[in-house]
Amino acid sequence: MTVLRTPDERFTDLPGYPFPPNYLEDRPGLRMHYLDEGAADAPVALCLHGQPTWSYLYRKMVPAFVAAGMRVVAPDFFGFGRSDKPAEEATYTFDFHRASVISLIEALDLRRITLVCQDWGGLIGLTIPMDMQARFERLLVMNTTLGTGDVPLGEGFLSWRAFSNSKPDMDVAALMHRAVPTLGDAEAAAYAAPYPDIRYKAGVRRFPNLVPDRADADGAALSRRARDFWSKQWAGKSFMAIGMKDPVLGPPAMLALRAIIRNCPPPLELADAGHFTQEAGAVIVEAAMTSFAG
């Protein structure tokens, strides 16, 4: 396996991101990066990102979680952020990504977990608690879905997948600027920091094509089992925040997901937020913690 590692100097002085790196060798020669902030014995906010972002997406939420007495663990999926980047697209499968998150949870022995997820962080993350029920207590879910393979993907997603496939060397900074107009130039550039050139973007390219689009697709059966778990077995507390301007995983997709999650209360609707909900920052954390305490 050819593995690329983004030079450390590309992560120097990123705006709003003062967090030191932590690494786990998931398997020989393959290193996963994660943030680990807050007291080691505190309840855990496990924050999972999507495409084409990385743990930088959570920079505004990390301090709010820590202030609320939580430990924040925010990994970068392989192919993203400061994690290693296998060069071959075929390496990236649904099971590969899922197994890497499970390995991190087990290696760090994370417990009392609040799953915090959006985009691919949800597509993968929402399939994990059913197999590690004793470790998970709460859910904070933002603009995502389950890839069950038996529900049409929708025109918004199909358009996004076509766009992504047409841009093998995607301009991540420009994309983030369009999606989050309030981003400064340096912040948009920080999202692109992990990707010095096209060789480093195999994981970014692969994600849209991993969304299960048929019943026998990789991850579809797991996702259907997860759908049953969230609707019938989930006994923890849940909170949902929706970026209302998201054209792909906005209100229709999120309300459909809410109908699946047992005892999920009415969502926090963020009128000015788009797909990258986490950019709204502390307001989501504060609302979620208030809801959880109720």
Q: Judge contact between 231 and 139, C-beta under 8 A.
A: no
CB atoms within 10 A of CB 247: 14
Quick check: is 228 catalytic? no
CA dihedral 255, 66, 33, 51 (to 10 degrees): 20
Quick check: is 109 catalytic? no
Quick check: is 33 catalytic? no
Q: Where is 71: in which H helix or E strand?
A: strand 71-75
> Distance between CA 61 and CA 38 in Å, rounded?
12
The rounded Cα 179 to chain-centroid distance in angstroms is 16
Kindly state the tokens that stand for 277: 């909900």
Q: From the candidates 33, 49, 177, 275, which is the catalytic residue?
A: 275
State whether the Cα torsion 32-34-36-42 is positive or negative: negative
- Omega before 252 cis (within 30°)? no
Buried b (16+ CB within 10 A) or exposed e, 153-177: beebbeebbeebeeeeebebbebbb
- Phi and psi dihedrals of 26, rounded to 5? -65, -40
- DSSP label at residue 194: T
Q: Please list the active-site residues.
A: 119, 246, 275
